[in-house]
Amino acid sequence: MAKNKTVFVCRECGGEASKWMGKCPYCNEWNTFEEVTVSATTSSAKADYTKLTAENVNSIDSSDEVRIDTKINEFNRVLGGGLVKGSVVLLSGDPGIGKSTILLQVANNIADGKVLYVTGEESKGQIKLRAKRLGVNNDNLLIMCETDVLAIAEYIKEERPLAVIIDSIQTMYHSELSSSPGSITQVRECTTALLKVAKAFDIPTIIVGHINKGGDIAGPKVMEHIVDTVLYFEGEKSNSYRILRANKNRFGSTNEIGVFEMQTSGLNEVENPSALMLSGKLNGVSGSSICSILEGSRPIFVEIQALTTPTAFGNPRRMASGLDYN
């Protein structure tokens, strides 16, 4: 019987080492190695690769990519026009920012066929309460409370839903691994398992990822390389406005942003952010100027203020907030 062994894995790049090191030799990051227990398995049978095939590049269908309209223009803008079939999207943001809310709205909008919403954090009753608040009422929206990624993958293969939402990847576990859910190995292998199913059956999959204290997505950095699109949901809890931006997008630009406003009925898109930025500006007041900035293909008007105040120092001090000092 094979014994389990302990290795140290870098949470940034996924590099492995037999002992702990202060600096990762692969990505040069400090204090990123974590201890992981790997279950060793023995097998005398060799893998059978006789069924592998390769396809001529000229015979591959080169038609335009098929996108699913989420019916939320701001969400479509950031994705590059909608959800691409077979794509895997990683959505991250602070706790309570509205990730589950917007995904439930998206699931309701695209549920012309079966849409599977898998939750490992909430019960079906909690999802139902949010659905009632958001006005979500669709017979094609299926809710599953499960954390075993292999069981979820088998269900997806059998039912072939139109889209899948996983909330969240840190709660999922791979039953063939001995490490606990949320560990580097579990997050990586669970993401890979979901990716294989999404690519094999052309099922778009959205995965929710938690963030750590530093504001980065929790888990190994390799997870961001595996997926097709990485989205960040930004905003302050004390402010009702949210910004959705793409940090990586294989099917669109990473310069586009989506602006949303959190209300009792859910997240409503803000189609004219310029009007929002200038809503509190007073006319005829000196010390302020309006300028235009470009975010992707969208020009946004913002207000720049120059404020002065008396100082007790010999020389005045100039400071800048939100702008390059130079």
- In angstroms, the CA 67 to CA 257 distance is 19
pTM of this prediction? 0.81
CB count within 10 Å of CB 128 equals: 13
- In angstroms, the CA 9 to CA 37 distance is 10
Residue 45 is predicted with a pLDDT of 43
Report in angstroms the alpha-carbon separations of 198 from 26, 134, 146, 202, 292: 30, 28, 18, 5, 40
Give the count of alpha carbons within 13 A of 269, CB side only. 16
Nearest partner of 96 among 245, 239, 268, 254, judged by Cα: 239
- In angstroms, the CA 293 to CA 302 distance is 7
Cα angle value 168/174/178 (rounded, 5°): 120
- In angstroms, the CA 27 to CA 22 distance is 12
Structure tokens at 184: 């580097």
Residue 39 is predicted with a pLDDT of 62
**Per-residue confidence at 26, pLDDT binned at 50, 70, 90?**
confident
Structure tokens at 301: 């008007």
Query: 250-261: b or e for each residue (b if 16 or more CB lie within 10 Å)?
Result: ebbebebbbbbe
Residue 289 is predicted with a pLDDT of 86
pLDDT, tens digit (0-9, with 9 covering 90-100), for 241-286? 899 999 999 999 998 999 999 988 889 999 888 887 787 777 777 8
β-sheet bridge partners, residue 189? none
Query: Above pLDDT 70, what percent of the chain?
Result: 93
β-sheet bridge partners, residue 248? 230
pLDDT, tens digit (0-9, with 9 covering 90-100), for 147-191? 999 999 999 999 999 999 999 899 999 988 877 888 888 888 999
Residue 47 has pLDDT above 60, yes or no: no
- In angstroms, the CA 201 to CA 199 distance is 6
Neighbouring residues of 232: CB distance < 8 A, sequence distance ≥ 6: 92, 93, 244, 245, 246, 247
Report in angstroms the alpha-carbon separations of 78 from 3, 111, 230, 244, 292: 47, 20, 10, 7, 20
pLDDT, tens digit (0-9, with 9 covering 90-100), for 65-92? 689 999 999 999 999 999 999 999 999 9
Residue 43 has pLDDT above 60, yes or no: no
- In angstroms, the CA 168 to CA 92 distance is 10
- In angstroms, the CA 154 to CA 241 distance is 39
